Amino acid sequence: MGMFGGGKGAFIGSIHRSAALMDNHIELVCGCFSSKAEKSFESGRELMLDESRIYTSFEEMIEKEAQLPEGERMDFISIVTPNHLHFAPAKMALLNGFDVVLDKPITYSLEEAKELQEILKQTGRTLALTHTYSGYPAVKEAKERIARGDFGKIRKVFTEYPQGWLSGPAELDPSSNAGWRTDPSRSGKAGSMGDIGTHAMHLAEYVSGLRCTELCAEVKTFVEGRRLDDDGAALLRFDNGATGILAASQVCAGDENPFTIRIYGEKGGIEWNQMNPNTLVVKWLDRPTELVRVGNGYMGYFAKANSRTPGGHPEGFIEAFANIYSNFARCVMAKKDGVEPRPEWLDFPGIEDGVRGMQFIETIIKSGLEQESKWTKWVE
């Protein structure tokens, strides 16, 4: 794979690389790690890349790689830049025959996302969107159990993503990741709603199998001088009549990353907390709560296909990330080999999730900031 972005000091770039590499079927062969040539080269060298395949623009990278023979050139490009730099490289890569991995949210605007969707239809290429949390095996177990009806009809979906790292004006520190995330020209219409709200909505829909049809939101900026929202909450309605709540905030001082989801059906429900990711709490009306744990023989098909260790040997965030990379890579290889992909390989977020993410941003911002919390139909 080739990487765009993720130079020295960029947290998420190194996560992407570890995730891609750890299953021993993806190799980093080239990259453009920074628009500053020096930094890109320094980063590339540290990653033991051949100098000839360290680039200083995505255009250069895609162009030159496309000229290399098939077995040699990168198979796909992983784009880990701020939101405003997703669309152009993704589009060019797709049009030049490369598959694409994109960090979320998929693009800067809904329009870009839809254009990408169009290009994917035309090119028939593969795109993965790294909504890490649906890569966790316990999350897949939850989805599988709900889908097969263990809990009866779903009534309630609660998802909450509280973080504390933007409790102060972190964007004033130039070394912080907060800079572009709070800058409308780089992040898009939303701050926290785009950064973590999209994760929460994605997980709610992924696990429940439902689609949100309308929401009623309050979106807010607590830190003075901040240019985008740092907090939001919404009442939710789903297509089967279920209701729920989504809360996402980056001013929950003292919270690290306890992203949770709880779903209740008529007979029971599930609870999952990203900070204890290998346990799925399964509740029942008339029986004891069960701690369903990743790595055990009783786990379902998808969870088993997405875990590496026996029970009690924790897998974490990077492994969840790696599941997305590995499933994506297996699909890419299967296509190349003309092989039918297995169902678990196909189970990674893609363009439709990306478009829904951008629609979520549009919808929640509309309900929250423009309409004073009116119930707002999902923006298509």
Helix ranges (H only) for 56-136 are 58-67, 87-95, 110-123
Nearest partner of 89 among 24, 31, 147, judged by Cα:
31
Which of 103, 205, 229, 255 lies at the binding interface for a copy of itself (CB under 8 A)? 255
What is the amino acid identity at position 19?
A
Contact 246, 201 (CB under 8 A): yes
- Pair type for strands 127-129 and 99-102: parallel
When asked if residue 140 is in the footprint of a copy of itself (CB under 8 A), the reply is no
Say whether 219 sits in a helix, a strand or coil.
strand
Among 50, 121, 222, 343, binds a copy of itself (CB under 8 A): 222
Name the token pair of 2. Answer: 């080739």
C-beta of residue 238 within 8 angstroms of C-beta of residue 244:
yes
Shortest gap between Cβ of 274 and a copy of itself (angstroms)?
8
Q: Residue 44 CB, nearest distance to a copy of itself (Å)?
A: 11
Residue 235 sits at φ, ψ, to 5 deg, of: -80, 140
Distance CA 288, CA 67 (A): 61
Whole-angstrom Cα distance, residue 153 to residue 337? Answer: 40
Position 304 contacts a copy of itself (CB under 8 A): no
Answer yes or no: are the C-beta atoms of 159 and 260 closer than 8 Å. Answer: yes
Work out whether 251 is an interface residue with a copy of itself (CB under 8 A): yes
Q: Which stretch binds a copy of itself (CB under 8 A): 75-83, 110-118, 204-212, 281-289?
A: 281-289
Q: Is 176 in the site for a copy of itself (CB under 8 A)?
A: no
Q: Is 373 in the site for a copy of itself (CB under 8 A)?
A: yes
Q: Is 163 in the site for a copy of itself (CB under 8 A)?
A: yes
- Minimum distance of a copy of itself from residue 261's CB (angstroms): 13
Q: What angle do CA 13, 19, 23 make, to 5 degrees?
A: 150
Residue 167 one-letter amino acid: S
Least distance (Å) between residue 35 CB and a copy of itself: 22
Radius of gyration for the alpha carbons in the chain, expressed in angstroms and rounded? 20
- Region from 11-19, 61-69, 70-78, 201-209 binding a copy of itself, contact rule CB under 8 A: 11-19
Nearer to a copy of itself, 3 or 85 (CB): 3
Taking the complex as a whole, how short is the minimal distance between the CB of residue 24 and a copy of itself, in angstroms? Answer: 5
When binding is defined by CB under 8 A, the residue of 149, 289, 343, 380 that contacts a copy of itself is 289
Residue 292 interacting with a copy of itself (CB under 8 A): yes
Interface with a copy of itself (CB under 8 A), residue from 114, 283, 304, 342? 283
What is the nearest approach in angstroms of a copy of itself to the Cβ of residue 13? 11
Q: What is the Cα–Cα distance from 40 to 33, expressed in whole angstroms?
A: 5
235 binds a copy of itself (CB under 8 A): yes
**Number of residues lying near a copy of itself (CB under 8 A):** 86
Per CB under 8 A, 375 contacts a copy of itself: yes
